[in-house]
């Protein structure tokens, strides 16, 4: 095996017996099904029984053992792009930007240009080499369709300091979410473990074997009996944490095509609400506040990202709903 390869040994559990091989291996690893199929075609996946014939559609048996040779991803060649940035704070060590909805944070398959990283490389000449080639300066991320504040390290020392703050949960991260439904409580700490969905790899879910996830939720405003605005404080940073936790509480975020079911708003609602909901093309989630002690200067940093236009329109429309 080449030193640039990762070797995985995956054993099929009883509860996955009969599933397709590509689905089973994707679930047991961090690989996508398309990546598993590529590795199968290249011969990089082997059955412990050398005489077994395997392909993506092969039905697996409990106890089957597969060895997966995962070659190291080739680093992307990143070209700086002159994309405007809404900068909330900047000094020689770090900067905080207000990421617009629709912008991907770092390059990935299908997103080779137009990302926040491409914009940062144009803005900050010193970023290459920090935290890897494809994610220079990136300490944390927010979803493509979530807007709001994001901190980026300009130096390796700053990066290490910020990583420590995040790992020790010494970051004040507050989000706003506009939800369908109104909670029966004003304040609630949601402690539900989150892991990969057992059947849909692109989704996360509350699963007993998942990683601990803690969200403090506050009912900030109710709009009649149908909608509410929640303020969420993150104490952990699991993938889709707020979206999963709120959906589990019966408060799915408006516009969330992954965790919220589609619904037909009441015809009795003002026309402005119908228009705002129809124009909403993403989950109504905004990373509003980011606060921490600067890892180098020890300055208290507090940034509040202004709402983007779509959420201003939505909030204004919902405020006209009467009980």
Active site residues: 143
Q: What is the β-pairing status of strands 300-304 and 65-71?
A: unpaired
Q: In which residue are the tokens 């060649």 written?
A: 77
The Cα–Cα gap between 28 and 43 comes to: 19
DSSP 33-100: HHHHHHHHHHT-EEESSTT----TTPBP-TT-EEEEEEEPPPPP----------EEEE-SSEEEEEEP
SS (H, E, C) 92-131: CCEEEEEECCCCCCCCECCECCCCHHHHHHHHCCCCCCCC
**Ordered DSSP codes for 240-261:** THHHHHHHHTT-PBTT-TTTS-
Cβ pair 140, 153 in contact under 8 A: no
The DSSP secondary-structure symbol of 19 reads S
Rounded (5°) CA angle 152-247-205 = 75
Which residues lie across from 231 on neighbouring strands? 176, 218
Residue 53 CA to chain centroid, in angstroms?
A: 37
């Amino acid at each position: 095996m080449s030193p640039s390869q990762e070797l995985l040994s995956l054993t099929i559990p009883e509860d996955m017996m009969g599933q397709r091989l590509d689905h089973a291996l994707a679930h047991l690893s961090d690989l996508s099904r398309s990546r598993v199929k590529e590795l199968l075609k290249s011969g990089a996946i082997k059955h412990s029984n050398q005489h077994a014939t395997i392909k993506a559609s092969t039905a697996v048996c409990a106890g089957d053992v597969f060895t997966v040779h995962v070659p190291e991803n080739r680093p992307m060649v990143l070209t700086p792009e002159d994309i405007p940035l809404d900068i909330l704070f900047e000094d020689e060590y770090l900067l905080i930007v207000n990421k617009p909805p629709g912008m991907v944070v770092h390059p990935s398959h299908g997103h080779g240009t137009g990302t926040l990283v491409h914009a940062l490389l144009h803005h900050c000449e010193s970023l290459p080499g920090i935290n890897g080639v494809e994610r220079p300066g990136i300490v944390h991320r927010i979803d493509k369709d979530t807007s709001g504040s994001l901190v980026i390290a300009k130096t390796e020392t700053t990066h290490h300091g910020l990583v420590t703050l995040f790992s020790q949960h010494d970051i004040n991260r507050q989000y706003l979410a506009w939800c369908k439904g109104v909670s029966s409580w004003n304040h609630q700490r949601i402690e539900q473990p989150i892991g990969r969905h057992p059947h849909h790899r692109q989704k996360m879910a509350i699963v007993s074997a998942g990683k601990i996830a803690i969200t403090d939720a506050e009912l900030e405003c109710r709009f009649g009996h149908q909608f509410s605005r929640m303020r969420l404080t993150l104490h952990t940073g699991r993938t889709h944490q707020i979206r999963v936790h709120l959906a589990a509480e019966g408060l799915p975020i408006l516009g969330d095509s992954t965790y919220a079911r589609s619904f037909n708003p009441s015809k009795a609602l003002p026309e402005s609400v119908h228009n705002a909901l129809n124009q909403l093309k993403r989950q109504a989630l905004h990373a509003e506040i980011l606060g921490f002690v600067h890892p180098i200067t020890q300055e208290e940093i507090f940034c509040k990202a202004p709402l983007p236009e779509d959420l201003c329109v939505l909030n204004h429309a919902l405020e006209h709903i009467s009980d």
